[in-house]
Amino acid sequence: MKKEEKNYGLLKVILLFVVVAILLSWLIPYGQLTGTDFMSEGALARIGLNNLSEFIYYAFQFALDKIVILLIIAGFYGVLVKTKAYDNITSSIAKKFSNKKLAVVMISVVIAVMASVLTQTFAILIFVPFIISIMNKMKLDKMTIMATVFGSMLVGSIGATYGTEGLMLVAKGNYFTAEGFDPNNTVLIRAGILLIGLVLFNFFTISHMSKKDKDKESIEMIPIVEVDDKKKSKAPIIIIGILLLIIVILGFLKWNLLNVTIFDKFHKLITEDIKIGQDFYIFQSILGTRFEAFGNWDIFTIASILFVLTIIIGLCYRFKFNEFIDSYMDGCKKVIKPCIFLMGAYLVMAVVYMSPYLPTISHKIWGLADGFNIATSSLTIILNNIFCPNLDFIGFSGILGYLASEYPTYMNALYVMISSLTGLVMVFAPTSLMLVVGLSSLDVKYKDWFKYIWKFLLGISICLIVIFILMTVI
């Protein structure tokens, strides 16, 4: 029974949320928000047995890009770990970190800053297995690894400055269109939230490590894969690793918010201006019509590049075809469980997509107070993020548009609230995509994570409330 709890406890919590979401469709009428107008016929869009396969289909559709990148990352490392070079690189880096606590703080800061500035947190997962391999060889326990790697990404989401997926849809003006609004107006405040979050989070991480140092037997290790002694050259892995880091930063940093236009001009040059004859655009044909300029990339773009680099790794280390396929498939098998859990998280969103009762709930909550209210606005943002792990969907449902239209004088405060509260929900909600991937990958119990994180949640929540109040009264 204990083993089942360890392996499937998180799945039980996710399925409980799915059941709750379905039950609410039987109790709450669906509604629609258009600007500041709320429309509801008082009818119920009940989810029945016939809809089960339908919302599984929608869940898969919503999760597809995340599943693709997980499989390709897993395949990439499935090939890498079969080389002696990868083992040597991770071992040598681990040996250089004699001060484990300092190393954990450094890794945490780097990951959190990347999550704060990049538009797709899932792109950072490309480097996560590499970091976990190093931390594993440093003999750190799984909770410390979980907090340092995945927890830091979530802290970066709380203090989103120029990134975190979904948020830029708001910044680009899809929902926040008030005259004079600029997401750069509050970048220093959001950077301050990031700093506060990092200090608090690392304080609890270091405290946890100090307790673990007193109890060596409690340390659990992540299995290490056997390697091929013949594949020893480090150069290909180092070159590709550095190249990947540069590509990810270039591709997922929102350059137009920094007033950098050179990449847009370069993209236009190679895709529209350079051609052979009248209509043969050579680079557009090679790169594909959906290849965007740096700063506008999606997950599929980096997934394609990573797949090509995986093939290059195989060629550099002279993998036989069957050996390459076996290694790639071995890697993919490692993420079957995270992909299933990811689908589970999206099931909740699929239910509220088919039965849109969240606008009804949100409208009722807003009606509890006259005018702009921090409590009611925060509650609706949190509630919607718990049920919908996708800020774009919340915008589509009219929630963001309502807030922006109803309270135009509070645009800066609302933007900070949406940014930080979206990240806050990701830290604890079982529908949080990154949290689900982290817990299921490292086999960490959801209840253990909640016990670990609740003090941080309390501390950062108090800090956020103070910041929100100051922003609305000053």
Closest CA to 354 of 46, 37, 19: 46
Q: At what angle do helices 299-316 and 235-252 cross, to 10 degrees?
A: 170
pLDDT digits (tens, 9 = 90+) for 414-429: 889 988 998 999 999 9
- In sequence order, the 6+-apart residues with CB closer than 8 A to the CB of 411 are 176, 178, 181, 404
Cα(335)–Cα(293) distance, integer angstroms: 30
Which tokens go with 162?
A: 């120029």
- What is the reported pLDDT for 392? 63
User: How confident is the model at residue 224, as a pLDDT?
Assistant: 47
Which segments in the chain show pLDDT lower than 50?
1-5, 166, 169, 171, 215-224
- At residue 167, the pLDDT reads 57
Q: What is the DSSP string of 354-417?
A: HS--HHHHHHHHHTTSSS--HHHHHHHHHHHHHH-S-HHHHHHTTHHHHHHHH-GGGHHHHHHH
- Specify whether the CB–CB gap between 292 and 120 falls below 8 A: no
Whether residue 376 contacts residue 368, with contact meaning beta carbons closer than 8 Å, is answered with yes
Task: Locate 198 and state its tokens.
Answer: 């990092």
Beta bridge partners of 280: 276
Nearest CA to 350 out of 97, 145, 61, 141 is that of: 61
**Residue 292 contacts residue 298 (beta carbons within 8 Å):** yes
Q: Which DSSP symbol is given to 42?
A: S
Per-residue pLDDT, 441: 92
Give the separation between CA 298 and CA 392, rounded to whole angstroms. 14
> 10 Å Cβ neighbour count for 153?
29
Question: What one-letter code names the amino acid at 243?
Answer: L
Sign of the Cα torsion 138, 143, 149, 152 reads negative
- In this prediction, residue 69 carries a pLDDT of 94
Within 13 A of 185's CA, how many CA atoms are on the CB side?
13
Give percent helix, percent strand, percent coil of the chain, each to the nearest 5: 75, 5, 25
Rounded Cα gap, residues 440 and 9, in angstroms: 10
In terms of Cα–Cα distance, which of 158, 220, 229, 226 is closest to 192?
158
